[in-house]
Amino acid sequence: MNKRIAPHKLNFDTGWAYSPAPESIDHVHIKDQYKLFIGGKFVAPKAGKYFNTINPANEKVLARVAQAGATDVDRAVNAARGAYDNIWSKMKPAERGKYIYRIARIIQERAREFAVIESVDGGKPIREARDVDIPLAAAHFFYYAGWADKLNYAFPCRTPQSLGVAGQIIPWNFPLLMAAWKIAPALACGNTVVLKPAETTPLTALKLAEVIEAADLPPGVVNILTGDGSTGAAIVNHDDVNKIAFTGSTNVGRIIQHALAGTDKKYTLELGGKAANIIFADAAIDQAVEGVVNAIFFNQGHVCCAGSRLLVQESVADEVVFKLKERMQTLIVGDPLDKNTDIGAINSAAQLERINAYLDLGQEEGAEMFQCGGKNPDKGYWCQPTLFTNVAQSHRVVREEIFGPVLAIQTFRTLDEAVAKANNTQYGLSGGIWTDKGAKIFNVGAKIRAGVIWANTFNKFDPTSPFGGYKESGVGREGGMHGLSAYLDLH
């Protein structure tokens, strides 16, 4: 079982192997340096500071990006306020909708370029960026464009009113998609925006700024500020911001909640997760195993709602673990731009260090660790898919979010035990149920304290469907009609 496999040389009995199939990058244009997008123009940061964004698959610098300070945040909020007061809040909703449609269409037209940039800046496989991130980002703009002139129908007998300026702070795991989740509903509801992407993945947000320029949005409606945590904090603490939308870690979410306590700013927080994927003995086992691979290994486990815990009914546990290990040997870790790649680069050196610390910790705690022993590329940040078995509920690898391709497996005997174990966590973002019985899906689904439950599938997203957490996974919902109310005052 512990076979060593080199990338692209799957040494299977059948003898087949993949040849490298790299995505073409000739059509991609990345500038050497990017400024801040404020008031419809790219402007230099006041303090003149820039930082590098790198490709985590080869550690090469892709571009220099502006570091926004408090003065730049102030300029951006003022631009957003001006655009809100003078143009956007006064515009006919149907006209607002047309601008949002235009953004959606331009993203679709430039989808191939966006996909490559998402892949090189963040390390995710091109397959994921091309098939999931970029089409879904466009779909969110299309979906919310349709709501712009129908808010009264979404909230009958109420008077929906925009909030003003929304400060939006997003993480590095789905950079363009998170920007779309934030910007599209905010604009549809008549708000203007100041958005800060994560430090390690600023490029698709900056490309989105170019799209917004091309869509001819009135200056100041969307402002994009690159920077670090201090830029995010300056947005949160700015007096003239009416709403904060944050996606990121539970720790930073807590800091933001403290900062907002006692103010009249509205907020939504989308935070961490430690989802349980539950496989019952009556499930279609091969499908379930594939679902588990999709839930935790694809996209390097860099998914807030990843199924990072697996609960398997005892009678099928050996079979599931055997099949999972077999499937893991066929997973290709390597060049994110190769269309065959399943698991790309870990987003940053710091994240890899965090994951590796958990791999050591799991073994120190007494868990059994399994990896296939594939060879990592020489440069860049990599982690082979990893299983922990023989774990206890008290182990930190079972309790804490690792945010890497690491799965902790536990067993259960009864349905009640599965539910109790699944709910024994500080988080409540998502969960998965694998069973042949529809009644069991409804029974267990109703008992799991999590915002999203997938049944016989995992990690499926749609703009019409709300997303968000229970417990320490967050406050509020994004997506669907629920996502509108987060950007409105409803009288």
Indicate which of ligand NAP, Mg ion, none lies near residue 173 (CB less than 5 to 8 Å, by partner kind): ligand NAP
Whether 270 is catalytic: yes
Residue among 313 and 459 whose Cβ is closer to ligand NAP: 459
* 183-212 binders of Mg ion (CB under 5 A): 200
Tell me the C-alpha distance between 197 and 205, whole Å.
7
Instruction: Please identify which of the residues 113, 118, 189, 304 carries the catalytic annotation.
Output: 304
Q: For ligand NAP, give the closer residue by CB, 123 or 232.
A: 232
Active-site hit among 199, 270, 401, 472: 270
Contacts of 257 (CB under 8 A, 6+ apart): 267, 269, 475
For the beta sheet containing 41-43, the strands, ordered from the edge strand earlier in sequence to the opposite edge, are: 41-43, 36-38, 222-224, 192-196, 165-169, 243-247, 266-270, 474-475
Count the site residues for Mg ion by CB under 5 A. 3
Nearest approach in angstroms of CB 54 to Mg ion is: 5
Tokens 């109310």 map to which residue?
Answer: 485
Q: Which is closer to Mg ion, CB of 53 or CB of 294?
A: 53
CB contact at 8 A, 361 and 396 = yes
The distance of closest approach from Cβ of residue 478 to ligand NAP in the complex, given in angstroms and rounded to an integer, is 7
Own/partner long-range contacts of 229-235 (Cβ < 8 Å, ≥24 apart): 229/199, 230/69, 231/67, 231/68, 231/69, 231/72, 231/73, 231/196, 232/169, 232/196, 233/259, 234/68, 234/69, 234/70, 234/73, 235/73, 235/77, 235/167, 235/169, 235/194, 235/196
Minimum distance of ligand NAP from residue 125's CB (angstroms): 17
By C-beta, is 53 or 351 nearer to Mg ion?
53
H/E/C letters for each residue in 273-290?
CCCEEEECCCCCHHHHHH
53 binds, among ligand NAP, Mg ion, none (CB under 5 to 8 A by kind): Mg ion
Identified binder of Mg ion from the candidate list 121, 199, 342, 472, rule CB under 5 A: 121
Does 118 help bind Mg ion (rule: CB under 5 A)? no
Q: Is 14 helix (H, G, I), strand (E, B) or coil?
A: coil
Q: What is the Cα–Cα distance from 379 to 216, expressed in whole angstroms?
A: 41
Residues that bind ligand NAP (CB under 6 A): 169-173, 196, 198-199, 228-229, 232-233, 236, 247-249, 252, 255-256, 270-273, 304, 401, 403, 429, 469, 474
CB of 271 to ligand NAP, least distance (A): 5
Residue nearer to Mg ion on the CB measure, 200 or 329: 200
d(C-alpha 103, C-alpha 115), whole Å: 16
| Element (DSSP H or E) covering residue 408 | strand 406-412
Three-state DSSP at 222 gives strand
The residue with tokens 């299309």 is 142
Partner from ligand NAP, Mg ion, none binding residue 121, C-beta < 5-8 Å depending on class: Mg ion
Question: Any catalytic annotation for residue 157?
Answer: no
Site string for Mg ion, 31-70 (x = CB under 5 A): ----------------------x-----------------
Fill in the DSSP letter of residue 66. E
**Shortest CB 230 distance to ligand NAP, Å:** 7
- Least CB distance from residue 26 to Mg ion, whole Å? 21
Q: Which is nearer to ligand NAP, 42 or 461 (CB)?
A: 461
What are the residue numbers of the active site?
Answer: 270, 304
Give contact residues for Mg ion (rule: CB under 5 A): 53, 121, 200
